[in-house]
Amino acid sequence: MASTLKLSQLPVGARATIREFPGHGPAFLRLREMGVLPGTAITLMRTAPLGDPLEVRVRGYNLTLRKSEAEHVVVELAGGQ
């Protein structure tokens, strides 16, 4: 079983696959509609200078979200790490 962790704990530059994604709340609905879904590959590009929000790359584009949202997303590190 590969290692799972919270998206907020993903090291910068790491690639992962989303495993669990909350079903409720407007933030998560919008993220889903923007293509952030269980099974989607996600890369943590960087954090803002003050550590929050995060910038991730999904489906070929870059997106920001706050740590408080990223804490509820569980990801699995892509192999080879």
Partner 1 sequence: MHLSGARVMTEFVQKPAGPGRSPVYALVGNPNCGKSTLFNALTGLKQKVGNYPGVTVEKKIGTTYSQHGRPITVIDLPGTYSLAARSPDEAIVRDVLFGRRADIAQPDRIICIVDTTNLERNLYLVHQVLDLGRPVILVLNMMDLATNAGLDLRVARLEHELGIPVIPCEAVNSKGVLELRLAMSRADLPLPRHRWDIPAPIAPAVAELQASLVENDGKQPLIARAEALLLLTDQNPVRVAGSMPLSERTSAILAGWKKRWEGEGVDWSGTLVKSRYDAITRLCAEVVQRAASTGPGASDRIDSVVVHPLWGWLVLGAIMTVLFLSIFTLAEYPMNWIDAQVATLGAWVKGVMPPGDLRDLITDGAIAGVGGVVVFLPQILILFFFLGLLESTGYMARAAFIMDRLMSRVGLNGKSFIPLLSSYACAIPGIMATRTIEDTKDRLVTILVAPLMSCSARLPVYLLMIAALLPGDRVSVGAKVGLMLLMYALGTFGAFGFAWLFKKYLLKGEPPLMIMELPPYRLPRMKDVLFHMLERAGLFLRRAGTIILGISIVLWFLTAYPRHPGSATPQEQIAHSFAGTAGRVLEPVIKPLGFDWRIGIGLVTSFAAREVFVSSMAVVFSVDHFEGGKHADITPLRTALKAAIWPDGRPLFTPLVCLTLMIYYVFAMQCMSTVVVVKRETNSWRWPLFQTAYMTGTAWLVCFVVFQGGRTLGF
> Within 13 A of 17's CA, how many CA atoms are on the CB side?
8
12 binds partner 1 (CB under 8 A): no
Instruction: Indicate the residue among 3 and 13 with the shorter CB distance to partner 1.
Output: 13
Backbone phi, then psi, for 71, in 5-degree steps?
A: -65, -25
Task: Tell whether residue 50 is a contact of partner 1 (CB under 8 A).
Answer: yes
Q: Is 37 in the site for partner 1 (CB under 8 A)?
A: yes
* 3-state SS assignment for residue 31: helix
Q: Does residue 79 touch partner 1 according to CB under 8 A?
A: no
Q: Tell me phi and psi for residue 37, to 5 degrees.
A: -135, 160
* Dist. CA 77–CA 81, nearest whole Å: 7
Contact pick of 7, 10, 18, 31 for partner 1 (by CB under 8 A): 31
**Residues found near partner 1 in the complex (CB under 8 A):** 21, 23-24, 26-27, 29-35, 37-38, 45-46, 48-53, 55, 57, 59-66, 68-69
